Amino acid sequence: MNILEIQSIRVRNGALDLEVAMAADALHVTDEQARRILELLPNLAHHVCVNGAGDGSFGDELVGTELAHLLEHLIIELQGKASSQADELTGHTSWLEELEVTAPQGYALMRTTVTFANDFVALGAMNCALEIINWASEPDTGDMPDVDGMIAFLAAM
């Protein structure tokens, strides 16, 4: 299994529902991954993040959060940069199966839901977000993703 895989995609009226599988031994965002991600998209640190710990910023949550939660925020950020209609985008990530059940088998399974103004832009943003996560997870990877090119591609949709 790759570090993160989309197992299924459901496009519904105004939202994407993603079933996200992650390697159990690489489930959480590391300090290095967070540093690399924020180098590309510093605004992610300022996203509002509401959860059981209360209202805060995604920057407060980033290190140690699940990769599926990072995927949610990346998709929202990329859509927001690509479209002026994307001001009110939201997302939610939750467990599909308890970690105690899946971890012995080497994986974790979560559902990530993100809203969209344009389904094609959202799906494109999902693919770009996966590329960014893969890059951030491979410290020996040389070239940074071309975020400006990604955003231009998404905006043209």
What tens digit of pLDDT does each residue of 11-41 get? 999 999 999 999 999 999 999 999 999 999 9
**Predicted confidence (pLDDT) per residue in 94-137, tens digit:** 999 898 999 999 999 999 999 999 999 999 999 999 999 999 99
Q: Please give the pLDDT value at position 1.
A: 55
Q: Please give the pLDDT value at position 9.
A: 98
Residues 6+ apart with CB under 8 A from 23: 1, 2, 3, 4, 106, 107, 108
Distance, in Å, from the CA atom of 1 to the CA atom of 113, rounded to the nearest integer, reads 22
Task: Count CB-CB contacts under 10 A for residue 89.
Answer: 20
8 A C-beta contact, residue 29 and residue 65: yes
- Residue written as token pair 């970690």: 99
Where is pLDDT greater, at 97 or 56? 97
Please state the rounded mean pLDDT for residues 73-84: 93
